[in-house]
Structure 1
């Protein structure tokens, strides 16, 4: 029974986060950053915030290389296939 205490490292059950969606909401100037493993989930989150008008600034960044895939204020909007 003591063997289970000395097993090797456990592999993670969730995939690694690959995208960060940053947003700033106008009142009271609240900022948030959410991370997603899936490009589709990050894309949908950004589009829903944009379409709802809840955020004044939205950015999606690929964590691996820091590339900005979507930026509402700068007009950057790469297609989902490029994410």
Structure 2
């Protein structure tokens, strides 16, 4: 049973989050922020919120540099290929 204990930590099982989808929803939900690693998943989440017209404000921000990639109110929608 020796060798079970490792001196180095194991790598994380999930990749780090790279995008944050922020939304403002009607009360009682209020504001929400969800994080995603893959750009396709973040884009799909923002698109679905827009399509069902559930949120009054939707933003997608790249966590690494704070760039807004999608903003419903401002009309910003950078193509997915550039996320």
TM-score, normalised by the number of residues in structure 2: 0.92
Unaligned segments of structure 1, at least 5 residues: none
Unaligned segments of structure 2, at least 5 residues: none
Higher helix share: 1
Q: Which runs of 4+ in 1 moved over 4 A?
A: none
Number of positions where the alignment pairs a residue of Structure 1 with one of Structure 2: 83
- Written as runs of structure 1 = structure 2, the 5 A alignment for 1:1-83 is 1=1, 3-28=3-28, 30-83=30-83
CA distance in 1, matches of 2:56, 2:81: 25
Corresponding residue SS for 2:11: coil
Aligned-pair RMSD on alpha carbons? 1.3
Deviation at 1:57, TM superposition (A): 0.5
